[in-house]
Amino acid sequence: MKFVYVSCNISKLEQLTEEIRNLGIKTFQIVEDTAGSFENGNPRMNTSVWPGTNAVIFLQVTPEKCKELLSAVRRMNTEIVNENERILAASWECEDYVYSDEEKEA
């Protein structure tokens, strides 16, 4: 299992969520209206000086779906109009994952 962290300009959230659903990924959590700054582009701090916000998506996926998702993010980043639309994604191994009722499965 992989844990994936994705952060994007709030304006890219709908497109990114659609891409996630098209990949058949059903387990994810979205945190909207986050403040943050990337290496390139303008900070989004939801202030008069740095308006706008980001969104963060957390996903728990198989290694295969992780590869597909990161490939989709790379493709989306080649299609950006400006640096403020760039998407950040990072993944790492998920040591434990508990969701189902493990007692019923035994």
Q: Is residue 61 part of a domain?
A: yes
Does residue 46 belong to any structural domain of this protein? no
Per the confidence metrics, is the pTM higher than 0.95? no
Question: Taking CA 25 as the corner, what is the angle to CA 36 and CA 12, rounded to the nearest 5 degrees?
Answer: 35
What's the rounded Cα separation, in Å, for the pair 106 and 101? 9
Q: Is the pLDDT of residue 105 over 60?
A: no
27: domain CATH number is 3.30.70.120
Domain presence at residue 48 = no
Angle at 67 between CA 6 and CA 16, to 5 degrees: 40
> Where do runs of H (alpha helix) occur along 1-106?
13-22, 63-78, 102-105
- Residues 67-93: pLDDT tens digits? 999 999 999 999 999 999 999 999 999
* Domain hosting residue 76, numbered range: 2-36+55-95
Domains: count for the chain? 1
Instruction: List 30's β-bridge partners, or say none.
Output: 57
Q: What is the rounded distance in angstroms from the CA atom of residue 87 to the CA atom of residue 13?
A: 10
For residue 103, the model assigns a pLDDT of 65
Please report whether residue 41 resides in a domain.
Answer: no
Partners of 18 in beta bridges: none
Could you tell me if residue 100 is inside a domain?
no
Structure confidence at residue 99 (pLDDT): 84
47 in a structural domain: no
pLDDT higher than threshold 80 for residue 94: yes
Mean pLDDT of 16-27: 97
Kindly state the average pLDDT of the residues 9-20: 97
The predicted pLDDT at position 63 comes to 97
